[in-house]
A and B are shown apart, each in its own frame.
Chain A
Amino acid sequence: MTEEGVRTNGNILVLHDVRKVFGGLVAVDDVSFNIARGEIVGLIGPNGAGKSTIVNLIMGVHKADGGTISFNGENILNYRPDQVVKLGICRTFQLEKPLLNMTARGNVMIGAMLHNPHRGEAMALAEKILERMGLGRVSHHLAKNLTAQDRKRLEIARIMATRPSLLLLDECMAGLTPAEIDQTLDLLRQFRNEGLSMLVIEHVMHAVMSISDRVIVLDNGKIICGGSPDEVVCDPKVIEAYLGKRGYSRATVTGT
């Protein structure tokens, strides 16, 4: 108990030797990492590295084949997604999944109702969050009529309504313009200042490098390196994972 307490001390999320196998494919291979309270951790890696699988394992969408996942010292390995959300972890989807035939406000209300069962309260909270996210003007629009950027925003807005303490952001900036990415980064920094912790999965390198306190690189289900953004971008293993062996040699030759 005390040992567990010491181990999770200061950490909001601890993954220990987490493993997930799909058929013959080891999607996540004994992955261990932690996220400190108030920390923003970037998770990068090539397509198919297992990044989204890790999010799904934390949420309980997939059941891990081994290891432990503890949130605030509580093992959440066998929890269902709705139970995980209730504890204070919430995620966005890589391919956003808006509730298409509900309004933007309705979408956010679903999240808000977790802690505000009454319709009126949930509605007021939803309006407040939408306003803050710059979505106030589309609050009454059906989600299916929103623009790509607004849909990405809505993903974040509705998870904020569940009052999370840890956000798992699965490519919440993919497909946005540079200006829109900067807006989203500002927003995430505000959230961090309010004490939220985040796991940010992102292919937009500029975004993930500028917001993360620490970056973890995943390749073929294994963590191949981790450290500050600056350390990670210079790591040969990372360059190799992204560009291949030839790419790595070319990169070193040109002095990158």
Chain B
Amino acid sequence: MATHRDTNVNRTRTVSLIVIAVVVLALPLFLSQRYLFRILINIFFFAALGSAWNIIGGYAGQLSLGHAAFLALGAYSTGLLLLHYNVAPWAGVLPGSILAALVAYFLGKLVLRLRGPYLALATLAFGEIVRILLLHFTNVTGGPLGVTIPFTGTNLWSLQFPTEHVNYCISLGLLALCIYVASRIHNSRMGYYLQAIKENQDAAENLGVPLARTKNLALVISAVLTAVMGGFYQIFMTYIDPYAVAGLHMSIEIILVAIIGGVGTVWGPVIGACILVPLMEASNFILGGGRAGASMLIYAVILIIVVLFSPKGLITLVPKLEGYRSE
């Protein structure tokens, strides 16, 4: 009986996934406004970042407030290698990801033994250190001026195109990658171990869960995916600076996407990004530049309302998705 229900749920899920995929893939054919394109790409971008963060912050409940640092590592390595050595972005993102993996590994060794607010503070400090280093080493990073990739016409090598179609496809592909990795982890032994760690580390360790190794691996995977998204950010925005990619507001944005959508669930970050990105755009659009800061106020008020009425994330409004895992 239970299996019958499970297969029904599975079928519903598969069908809705296919429908969504078709709609999303066909959308560029009907979109003409560049602005709308960029909003959609932003949704995919933040959904992917939220999914990546979710692996360590959501599944394992290890609150990282420094994920923007990994984004910056990917973005800077991609940008600098393209600018100075004409390395294609898809290759330039590799050293950035490897660097992010190494940094995450050593950071994890240092701080993942910390619990609760101490871990949050340590990762916060880590994010700030990276931002300040990027500002400090002006001769390498460009300091506060950041890295700008000049537009030199359509260029397949450096992924520069007059329209956003390619960026749309890349961001969608990267989102699919992040969701795939996250859901594979979620449904594997590692996912269960991460959940046990989130619930009670002492109990988990006394049931055979290797705490340090499991947490560290989750952080490394999360950091690598975040760095890859950083590489995309560089070619999408063409301009990065320490504030934009490594600022605390970026780390918080990533976390909000996951939390508003549904922390620790596979589809939560996607829902969160679908709500947050348009919300930000809409409040900017309606209030315009005239009343600077007013848009942030509306944004904040809506966030508070969401958190008050749906503290476990908006995904709880979709019970079928929420019950994605019954254990």
Contact = CB atoms under 8 A, between A and B. Distances in A.
Interface of A: 59, 61, 80-83, 85-86, 90-91, 93, 97-103, 105-106, 109-111, 113-114, 117-119, 122-123, 140, 158-159, 162
Nearest to B209: A82
Given A100-B199, A101-B199, A119 B205 contact: no
Contacts of B281: none
B56 interface: no
Given A97-B202, A117-B189, A119-B189, A102 B208 contact: no
Contacts of B327: 102-103, 105-106, 109, 123
Nearest to B200: A97
A113 B202 contact: no
Contact of B195 (A102, A111, A117, A158): A102
B7 interface: no
Contacts of B202: 61, 93, 97
A163 B211 CA distance: 20
A142 to B, nearest CB: 10
B203 interface: yes
A14 to B, nearest CB: 21
Contact of B193 (A83, A93, A110, A118): A110
Question: What size tier do the contact residues of chain B reach?
Answer: 20 to 34
A114 B208 contact: yes
A81 B206 CA distance: 5
Given A103-B326, A140-B326, 4 more contacts: A93-B203, A99-B195, A110-B208, A158-B207
B294 to A, nearest CB: 39
A82 B210 contact: yes
Contacts of B326: 103, 140
A76 B265 CA distance: 38
A113 B189 CA distance: 7
B188 interface: yes
Contact of B206 (A85, A105, A113): A85
Contacts of B203: 93, 97-99
- The 4 A-B residue pairs with the shortest CB-CB distance in the complex, in nearest-first order: A106-B327, A99-B199, A85-B208, A97-B203
Given A97-B200, A101-B199, A103-B327, A110 B209 contact: yes
Contacts of A123: 327
Nearest to B199: A99
Contacts of A109: 192, 327
B206 A110 contact: no
B204 interface: yes
Contacts of B188: 119
